[in-house]
Amino acid sequence: MILDTILVVDDEKKNLNAIRRIFSGPEYKLYFASSGEEAMEKVEIHSPSLVIMDVMMPGMDGIEACSRIKVKNENIMVLMLSGKSGIEDRMKGYAVLADDYIGKPYDPDELIAKVNILLRLFNAKKELADMNENLEITVQKRTGELIARERQALTGKMVQGIVHNLRGPLAVAASHAQLLSLLVDEYQSASDPAPPVNMDFITEVKTRNNKILDAIGKGSELIDTLVFQGGANPREKRRPLNLNELIQKEARFLRSEIIMHHGVELKLDLAHELPLVNGRYTDFSQVFYNLVKNACEAMAGSEKKKLTISSRHSASEIILSFSDTGPGIDPELKAMIFDPFFSTKSGADKTGSGSGLGLFICARLMSEYKAFISVRNLDPAGCEFSIQIPLQDSKEKDDLLKP
């Protein structure tokens, strides 16, 4: 059985003994203090549920002691006891957040009733706080599960894009290989069993072979990207990242989708010698993908479609910006775009089938790096998302640059 703890504060011993007799039942655990100063010490040690506080005491009086208790822990209930029970005196107690007030002399039954009410309120508040804490943990857990599913869905879309992009280079490789086979067959079936060396023919063979190697190289690069993206581990360890290189690699990965599917002109404006960031590739890769995808979809109805991705830095931070030429964002919606499940796309204008978690995921992933994502509309049209990534202190930055 958990006992309700009560701290009784009064500078007169007879008053302390009177309350000791009233609350002598096993359901109460009592502590006593004879001054405001001692009361503050007892509150720190015992953290009571309720303080029964005399108002008129030498030194720190009950009003000041109540005020300090509420500053330290506003959940502790305080019942003021005083021979002065006029409206002005009671208002002084309520002004410092006292929960109730009873005048002296008091009726023991009324005191017991008030104490039990305040203890029930304290326990109800504590139970509600515990429920809120458990609810927050549950929400965080469920949100994490949703983010994991969204990440899997995004990875699936990227895999589909890679497979689509693989078909082109592999088809080129196949066609050139077939042509090379025909040329070789033609050479071998010539009427002259030992024809002179045909330099034009050899040159053609080499040219076709180089094209095959080039196409295969492109295919290999896309396969490497597929393996890397598909094998992303949510617990991947941090490592020094060059965000310029990441942007260039991801841009190559998405370029055909950006240009061919969305008809968007892509421009990279990257700073020289960007400082390294200690992070997870998959975190920044997913943020890059989400912001690029949002920008392309935003420009679906625009006459001019241009996406500019830039990087710059100062001594304290790196800033990555994604600027589009779309219609911009309604100012009334700016405060909500990072909320989970919120989407600016609806009805006939909806160009994607996402869950509304894209920007929420971006903000959540970047929060681990204490990075801040801001958005502003451009003049005369367009929108810019910027990620401000704080840099580590100089020692950590030097460590990142060490081989």
What angle, rounded to 10 degrees, do the helices at 108-188 and 199-230 form?
Answer: 170
At the topology level, CATH places domain 4-106 in Rossmann fold (3.40.50)
Does domain 239-401 fall under CATH 3.40.630.40? My reply is no
Q: What is the DSSP letter of 403?
A: -
β-strands 4-9, 383-390: how paired? unpaired
Residues 6+ apart with CB under 8 A from 64: 36, 96
H or E element that contains 141: helix 108-188
Question: If you average pLDDT over every residue of the chain, what do you get?
Answer: 80
**Cα gap 286→279, rounded to integer Å:** 13
Q: What is the pLDDT of residue 253?
A: 74
Q: What percent of the chain stands above pLDDT 70?
A: 71
For the chain, the 3-state helix, strand and coil shares in percent, each to the nearest 5, are: 55, 15, 30
In the predicted model, is pLDDT for residue 325 greater than 90?
Answer: yes
pLDDT at 190: 60
pLDDT at residue 183 in the model: 67
Residue 365: left if φ>0, alpha if ψ -120 to 50, beta else—which one? Answer: alpha
Torsion of CA 163, 165, 167, 169, to 10 degrees: -140
**Cα four-point dihedral sign 209, 214, 219, 225:** positive
For the cut 80, the answer to whether the pLDDT of residue 340 exceeds it is no
Taking the C-alpha atoms of residue 385 and residue 298, their distance in angstroms, rounded to an integer, is 12
The string of DSSP codes covering 216-269 is HHHHHHHHHHHHHHHT--TTPPPEEE-HHHHHHHHHHHHHHIIIIIT--EEEEE
320 pLDDT above the threshold of 90: yes
Residue 139's pLDDT is: 82
Q: Is residue 88 within a helix (H) or strand (E), and if so which, with residue range?
A: helix 87-95
Q: Confidence class of residue 313 from pLDDT cuts 50, 70 and 90?
A: very high
Does 250 have pLDDT greater than 60? Answer: yes
Evaluate if residue 397 carries a pLDDT over 60.
no
Residue-level pLDDT at 401:
46
**pTM for the complete prediction?**
0.44
pLDDT at 231: 47
Decide: 296 and 264 in contact? Cβ < 8 Å. Answer: yes
CA atoms within 13 A on the CB side of 330: 7
Contacts of residues 235-238 at CB distance under 8 Å and 24 or more positions apart, as own/partner, are 236/280, 236/281, 236/282, 237/280, 238/278, 238/279, 238/280
Confidence of residue 41 (pLDDT cuts 50, 70, 90): very high
Whole-angstrom distance, CA of residue 100 vs CA of residue 82:
12
Span of 51-55, 160-164, 199-203 with lowest mean pLDDT: 160-164
Q: State how far Cα 16 lies from the chain centre.
A: 53
Please compute the mean of the pLDDT values over residues 18-41 and round it to a whole number.
Answer: 91
pLDDT surpassing 70 at residue 380: yes
pLDDT greater than 50 at residue 347: no
Phi/psi of residue 80, each to 5°? -85, 135
Which of the four pLDDT bands, split at 50, 70 and 90, describes residue 388? very high
Do 288 and 358 contact (CB within 8 A), yes or no?
no
CA distances from 60 to 64, 226, 351, 352 (A): 6, 71, 67, 65
Higher-confidence residue of 58 and 179: namely: 58
User: Is it the case that residue 47 has pLDDT exceeding 80?
Assistant: yes
Coil, helix or strand at residue 40: helix
Instruction: Give the Å distances, CA to CA, from 132 to 20, 269, 381.
Output: 35, 46, 43
Q: How far is CA 176 from CA 160, 189, 216, in A?
A: 25, 20, 11
Q: Are 52 and 19 in contact (CB under 8 A)?
A: yes
pLDDT tens digits for 148-179? 777 666 666 566 555 555 655 655 665 565 56
| Residue of 90, 32, 38 whose CA lies nearest to 63 | 90
Look at residue 322 and tell me whether its pLDDT is greater than 50. yes
